[in-house]
Amino acid sequence: MNEAVRKDSTVNRSNGWVGQILWVNLSARTTRTLNTLDYGPQYIGGRGIAARIAWDSIPPGVAALDPENLLIIFTGPLSGTTAPFSGRTSISGLSPQAAPHEWYSRSNIGGHWGPSLKYAGYDGLVIEGRSDVPVTLWIQDGKVEFLDASHLWGLGAIETQKILMSELGTDVRVLTIGQSGENLSRIAIILTETESAAGQGGYGAVMGSKKLKAIAVRGGGPVHIAQPDLFMERCKAIVHEVRTGSRFANPKLEQDSVREFKQRWQACTQQCAVRCGLGCRFYQVTGPVTGKQLAGQFHCVSCLFPGIPDTLYDWKMGFAGGFEARHLSDDYGLNQWDLLLGIVPWLRLCQQAGLISEFNDRPIDFDDPSFWAFLLRSIAYREGMGDALAEGGRRAPALLGFGEELVDSLYTAWGNAGHWDGRGDRANRIVYPFWLVAALQWAVDVRDPFNSSHGYTTFTMLWSPFREEQGLSWEVLKLVAQRVYGTAKAVDPESGYEDKELPAVWHGHRSVMKDSVAVDDSIFPVILSFNSPDGLARAGDMMGPDFEYHLFTSATGVDLSQDEFESACERIFNLERAFQVRNYGRQRNDDETVIPYFERAEWWDNPLIGEKKRLERDKFLPLLESYYRLRGWDAQLGRPTGSKLRQLGLHSVAEELIQRGLIAKQRD
């Protein structure tokens, strides 16, 4: 057993983790189990354990839709507990959506499925192989069955869940795919409930390639806590701080929506403890196309479906039309991020440029809900032009033969449409110099980094004087930044390129931390507070940025220092990078491919500067080099050095990269 997978005898298997990982071979219809504690706490849980399993088990040369690709689904040690804002689940494997390679990536999903897996006795699930017929994996309190899913194949994701609940019980939790996943679309999602999805990555196609229609779970087992009194005390203190000191202002429901659509508050994920603008459910919306009574929520990017005036998303579909389009895309199992920030804006730009006026012989009209229904079905079933769009918005122009120059303005990198970058994404305002941190995060990632890294953009854009109705002063923010990042210039609106590598590294580790323990990205890290005169969040004797650490240690009983806990996150980040280096030759030249995108002018300008800025290559390249050096990486190659990997306990990883000639031994 090598250094990175070892059992820690100080850990009690009954605390935090439930102790087992379920490994399923669909080809042979066999199962086996691994000991979770052979991986934790070195890799914490969730995203971390998944990364180690991927390194050990996915060799170079495997493609995303091959049977040898693994679908790795993991909870965290806080999942299924009363930890506030916990309950999320990490989904990983080789990504069909990723470009230019189908490399290892990850997604994340809310709802209640992950905690139910733990109650059934498993911290995680690894799926290999391919079934010869459609199958549902049925997991119930340690028992695993392979159920025939032929009667479900061809059905939507929401309809599939309804049928499985009627067959297995209304208390089951289900992960499933729609027709998009069955048809191997690169933008196919995995859905649970009516709107919680692992949206990015195309992992619905991985399930489809394995003929795995659904994974149903029921569990009644416990998740034990090492220090229950202390843990509960910390949970209550953190909830109080977030509810009273955060930017979440518990908005009121609109009475018109309450009356017309039966709007009610409902958490989107187990253990969510605040009411946010997206945390409400509509129980009675009549779809203008189907005429059906629909229920569900608008989440994140799905809020764009009705349209936003005076933007690239200014179609006028209305609330009910937008709600039905959201429902249809979820049922088909389509990635709403790629639809709403990539494909549809690209089609609109092409229409405005006179490159296209019809889609599959039908006039393009994004104000018409029936056109949306037609478009979504065409993509899900790969009909006509929909066949190209099912390959994802970044690949579609080359397949269709037009609009290549227009799509470049919408997709930041790695097959993902722009998000919090000041350019392709026209819905999330971020200005210079703060998008420089986003540029560094995009450069070194394998996907849109902001599924679990909103912390810096929230800090600078939603807590600052830029948000007039709810902001702290720049003086307060700079003092907090000095304490958290080690430099006030990290959030100084007039600081330019200086010190932007520091928050980029810090939030890179926090992204890993949140995905591994696992908690909600919209809340964590809890840095700022209106309750504190100095602006830094606190709860009892805990500092806000340390909340995850205190929840982890009191839940698991693991005797780790704060530095050791953060080092585990750095270990995971470096292991993921090492995987890209080993399997795909990832290096600095790849990272620099994001530069032309950021050399476009930003959409908004910093009012303290008064002009729209572009990335300046001669200033960004030294910043990128500083980022590598801060990480302890080879600044010429953009790769972890052997000494850094060994420092993090990844000795065998270092030796393999050296033996393959991918990192130089003499550089250690």
Do β-strands 124-128 and 135-140 pair in parallel, antiparallel, or remain unpaired? unpaired
Domains in the chain: boundaries: 20-218, 247-413, 429-528+561-667
State residue 488's pLDDT score.
Answer: 98
Average pLDDT, 10 consecutive residues per value, the chain (668 residues): 40 78 98 95 96 98 98 97 95 98 96 97 98 98 97 98 98 98 98 92 98 98 97 97 79 72 76 73 91 88 91 93 96 98 98 97 98 98 98 98 96 97 95 98 97 93 84 95 98 98 98 96 94 95 97 96 97 98 98 98 95 98 98 97 97 97 77
Task: Decide: helix, strand or coil at residue 370.
Answer: helix
Token pair listed for 301: 């990017």
State residue 468's pLDDT score.
Answer: 67
Contact (Cβ atoms closer than 8 angstroms) between residue 127 and residue 50: no
Burial of 101 (0-12, 13-18, 19+ CB in 10 A): buried
In sequence order, the 6+-apart residues with CB closer than 8 A to the CB of 401 are none
Task: Decide: helix, strand or coil at residue 140.
Answer: strand
Closest CA to 420 of 593, 300, 298, 276: 300
- How far is CA 66 from its chain centroid? 23
Burial of 656 (0-12, 13-18, 19+ CB in 10 A): middle
Task: Decide: helix, strand or coil at residue 71.
Answer: strand
Q: Name the helix (H) or strand (E) containing 504.
A: helix 501-517
State residue 279's pLDDT score.
Answer: 65
Closest CA to 68 of 583, 611, 473, 499: 583
Closest CA to 526 of 194, 127, 238: 238
Task: Tell me how long the chain is.
Answer: 668
Angle separating helix axes 562-584 and 547-556, nearest 10 degrees: 100
State residue 248's pLDDT score.
Answer: 61
Q: Which CATH class is domain 20-218?
A: alpha beta
* Alpha helices, DSSP H, located in 27-99: 46-57
622: left (phi over 0), alpha (psi -120 to 50) or beta: alpha
State residue 220's pLDDT score.
Answer: 95
* Alpha helices, DSSP H, located in 255-385: 255-261, 318-332, 336-338, 344-352, 369-380
Do β-strands 135-140 and 212-218 pair in parallel, antiparallel, or remain unpaired? parallel
CATH topology of domain 247-413: 1.10.569
Task: Please name the residue that has the structure tokens 């196919």.
Answer: 188
Torsions phi, psi of 107, nearest 5? Answer: -140, -175
Contact (Cβ atoms closer than 8 angstroms) between residue 27 and residue 131: yes
Q: Name the helix (H) or strand (E) containing 161.
A: helix 157-168
The widest CA-to-CA distance across the chain, in whole angstroms, is 70
In sequence order, the 6+-apart residues with CB closer than 8 A to the CB of 449 are 438, 441, 442, 508, 511
Contact (Cβ atoms closer than 8 angstroms) between residue 44 and residue 568: yes
State residue 4's pLDDT score.
Answer: 41
- CATH 1.10.599 for the 429-528+561-667 domain, yes or no: yes
State residue 398's pLDDT score.
Answer: 97
| 36-80 pLDDT per residue, tens | 999 988 999 999 999 999 999 999 999 999 999 999 999 999 999
State residue 597's pLDDT score.
Answer: 98
State residue 5's pLDDT score.
Answer: 42
In sequence order, the 6+-apart residues with CB closer than 8 A to the CB of 167 are none
Rg (CA), the chain: 24
Token pair listed for 149: 């899913």
In sequence order, the 6+-apart residues with CB closer than 8 A to the CB of 385 are 359, 360, 378, 400
Q: Which amino acid is at 332?
A: Y
